[in-house]
């Protein structure tokens, strides 16, 4: 396997666990066994699992990434992260970023479209604080209520983002540097707001490898990991990312 440019695989997860019966987007639930294999494989197969802060810092500085760089991200902040993903990440001492819908911490998610994936409980502030004090995992804003930012006026969008930034700061004791827009939905106004509030790294849902030499740190593409990425499929997925960029 040869390195294709200055690439990174920024992996995007949602749920770690089993989907409720009858839901449409069951593919967003990566099984616990598959997730455990995936983290073991990344650790043992020579991939460089780095934090988003390391990745975006290298991008901003025009620096070369470590070979086969991988960053782990999780969207929404569901409690199954605390129960099923966190213990595995801690076991292998892996960094990860969890983009959290801060206005619904400790509650069952109720945003638009949640019926497609099944309503689930989000982590409490206490659970998130415990994680940040005991691992390489950081929490980051995913807005306050998971609204589509492009459908809001600038003041509304800024309120959603700023409220989420402040909540994450209170949980972790540190101002966040990264952000993920719900549904991957953002516009130029979103980027201006992020810059205003000192967000230097933001991720998208553009399903491809990140080219650190060309992509913007405020528009980092991610590759979704699905339930059907069983061990052989995941191994091939990682090979393909660095061979073909997707």
CA separation (Å) from 175 to 139, 164, 172?
A: 10, 11, 8
pLDDT confidence of residue 2: 40
Q: To the nearest whole percent, how much of the chain has pLDDT over 70? A: 98
Tokens 């992996």 label which residue?
11
The separation between CA 120 and the C-alpha centre of its own chain, rounded to angstroms, equals 18
Judge whether 68 and 235 are in contact, CB under 8 Å: no
Predicted confidence (pLDDT) at residue 76 exceeds the cutoff of 50: yes
CATH of the domain at 86: 3.20.20.370
Residue 1 forms part of a structural domain? no
136 assigned to some structural domain? yes
> What's the CA gap between 32 and 46, in Å, rounded?
22
What does the mean pLDDT of the chain come to?
95
**Is residue 1 pLDDT above 50, yes or no?**
no
With a cut of 60, say whether residue 133 has pLDDT above it. Answer: yes
pLDDT, position 135 = 83
Which range marks the domain in which residue 54 is found?
Answer: 7-244
pLDDT tops 60 at residue 142: yes
pTM: 0.96
Residue 3 has pLDDT above 60, yes or no: no
118 inside domain: yes
Which residues make Cβ contacts (< 8 Å) with residue 180, sequence separation at least 6? 73, 75, 99, 140, 141, 142, 202, 203
The pair of structure tokens assigned to 239 is 């090979």
**16 domain-assigned:** yes
Angle between helix 231-244 and helix 32-44 axes, rounded to 10 deg: 50
The structural domain count of the chain equals 1
DSSP state string for 101-146? -GGGTTSB--STTGGGT---BBPPHHHHHHHHTSSSEEEEE--SS-
Q: Which of 16-20, 28-32, 78-82, 131-135 has the lowest mean pLDDT?
A: 131-135
Compute the average pLDDT of residues 1-11: 75
2 domain residue, yes or no:
no
Percent of the chain at pLDDT exceeding 90: 89
Over residues 185-195, mean pLDDT: 97
Q: Which three-class secondary structure state does DSSP give residue 99?
A: strand
């Amino acid at each position: 396997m040869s390195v294709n440019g200055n690439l990174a695989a920024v992996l995007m997860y949602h749920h770690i666990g089993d989907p409720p019966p009858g839901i449409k987007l069951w593919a967003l639930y990566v099984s616990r066994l598959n997730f455990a294999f995936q983290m073991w494989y990344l650790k043992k197969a020579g991939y460089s699992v780095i934090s988003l802060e390391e990745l975006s810092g290298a991008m901003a500085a025009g620096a070369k990434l470590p070979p086969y760089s991988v960053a782990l991200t999780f969207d929404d902040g569901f409690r199954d992260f605390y129960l099923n993903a966190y213990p595995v990440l801690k076991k292998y001492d892996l960094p990860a970023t969890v983009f959290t819908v801060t206005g619904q911490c400790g509650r069952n998610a109720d945003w638009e479209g949640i019926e497609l994936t099944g309503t689930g409980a989000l982590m409490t502030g206490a659970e998130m604080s415990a994680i940040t004090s005991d691992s390489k995992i950081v929490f980051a804003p995913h807005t306050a209520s998971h609204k589509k930012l492009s459908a809001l006026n600038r003041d509304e969008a800024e309120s959603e983002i700023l409220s989420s930034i402040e909540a994450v700061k209170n949980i972790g004791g540190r101002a966040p540097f990264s952000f993920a827009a719900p549904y991957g939905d953002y516009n130029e106004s979103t980027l201006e707001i992020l810059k205003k509030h000192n967000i230097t790294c933001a991720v998208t849902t553009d399903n491809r490898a990140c080219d650190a030499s060309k992509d913007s740190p405020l528009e980092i593409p991610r590759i979704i990991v699905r339930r059907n990425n069983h061990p052989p499929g995941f191994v091939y997925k990682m090979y393909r990312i660095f061979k073909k960029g997707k």
